[in-house]
Amino acid sequence: MRPSWDNYFMEMTEVVAKRSTCLRRKVGALIVKDKRVLATGYNGAPSGLKHCAETGCLREQNNVPSGERHELCRGLHAEQNAIIQAALHGSSINEATLYCTHQPCILCTKMIINAGIKQVVFKGAYPDKLALEMMKEAGIKIEEIK
């Protein structure tokens, strides 16, 4: 049996997440438009910098709970990396769908809104109610796949 398009793209996010260098949570993201993958991203340190496996996790060292103090991290989020990859390669993501292994945080949500992404499909929950509220306010269709 063939998977639905949503399940097909969500399975791809799981493969992308395997490239993550984060010690706490492996996250993968895909930006899709017209059933075509435009960009992918996973969470980890910026290109050319040491990964957390080498430096240790700042968030763990400082006992920072999930969903708080995003600035205390060496890494970029998967959604951020996907948006940056699209920009680097000149791909318009306006009206696209973002697939992600986890619900986007508030920082990624603001980028998603301003990038013109129209739909977000995710699998895993994340403790950020404001992010969901802002996506709804912006008219972004939200779908959680269980």
pLDDT (tens digit per residue) in 106-120: 999 999 999 999 999
- Which one from 79, 95, 133, 137 is the annotated catalytic residue? 79
Specify the CATH number for 5-144; select among 3.30.230.70, 3.30.420.10, 3.30.43.10, 3.40.140.10: 3.40.140.10
DSSP designation for 72:
S
User: What gap in Å lies between CA 99 and CA 96, rounded to an integer?
Assistant: 10
- Known binding residue 57? Answer is no
Give CA torsion, residues 64, 68, 72, 76, to 10 deg. Answer: 120
Can you count the helices (H) and strands (E) in the chain?
Answer: 6, 5
What 3-state class would DSSP assign to 109? helix
**Domain ranges in the chain?**
5-144
- Known binding residue 108? Answer is yes
pTM for the complete prediction? 0.94
Stretch 78-100: mean pLDDT:
98
Name which of 111, 67, 75, 66 is nearest 93 in CA terms. 111
Is the model's pLDDT at 57 over the cut of 90? yes
| Residue 95 annotated to the active site | no
User: What gap in Å lies between CA 108 and CA 123, rounded to an integer?
Assistant: 16
- Average model confidence (pLDDT) across the chain: 95
Question: Quick one: how far is CA 107 from the chain centroid?
Answer: 10
